[in-house]
Amino acid sequence: MDAIEDTEMAIEAYESRHCGTGKGALYVATYGLLQAMVVQQDAARHLLTALGEDVDLPSLPQLVKVRDIRNRAVGHPTKRDRQRAASYHFISRDSLSYEGFELTSWPAPRHKETEPVHTHECIRGQRKAIVGILSKAEAALRRLAKPGKGEQP
């Protein structure tokens, strides 16, 4: 639960632009945002696991999208080749702002591709999915808190 709250504080700091305005600060803020979002996803999923529940990540496309953007933009940008052909990625410096960035990719051997990434849309989608996971966790906790037959409340 602490990790979920801590990462939410990091996401809120990004949204309120408390991270600075120079390009270097924007890179730190963007890298941190994407990493915090993945840590938050993992923390929420692990909370459910601890409660005997499970989350089917592919059923939450908002979370899958954030993970993919994070992996391409900051996780494994210079060469990504684990389960597919090698590709190379970077954040276009001129496009970087608190509103988002252009993710430039070279899926070998094709020509470059650019994809706009709107960070606030990613945040909104993630929050919606995380709220769903936390609602499932709350329901699991309520079930666990109910005394069984013959038990004292």
User: Quick one: CA dihedral 96, 79, 76, 80, positive or negative?
Assistant: positive
Per-residue pLDDT tens over the stretch 104-147: 988 766 788 899 999 999 999 999 999 999 999 999 999 988 87
Per-residue pLDDT tens over the stretch 3-53: 999 999 999 999 998 888 789 999 999 999 999 999 999 999 999 999 999
Average pLDDT, the chain: 89
Residue 150: left if φ>0, alpha if ψ -120 to 50, beta else—which one?
Answer: left
pLDDT of residue 151: 58
Closest CA to 138 of 48, 42, 59, 56: 48
Residue 101: left if φ>0, alpha if ψ -120 to 50, beta else—which one?
Answer: beta
Per-residue pLDDT tens over the stretch 141-153: 999 888 766 555 5
Spacing of C-alpha 6 from chain mean position: 14
Per-residue pLDDT tens over the stretch 53-83: 988 888 899 999 999 999 889 886 666 666 6
**Facing residues of 103 across strands?**
91, 115
Burial of residue 130 (CB within 10 Å: 0-12, 13-18, 19+) is buried
Question: How many domains would you assign to the chain?
Answer: 1
Closest CA to 97 of 152, 37, 20: 20
Q: Which domain holds residue 108?
A: 2-145
pLDDT of residue 74: 87
Counting residues of the chain whose pLDDT is more than 70, the rounded percentage is 88
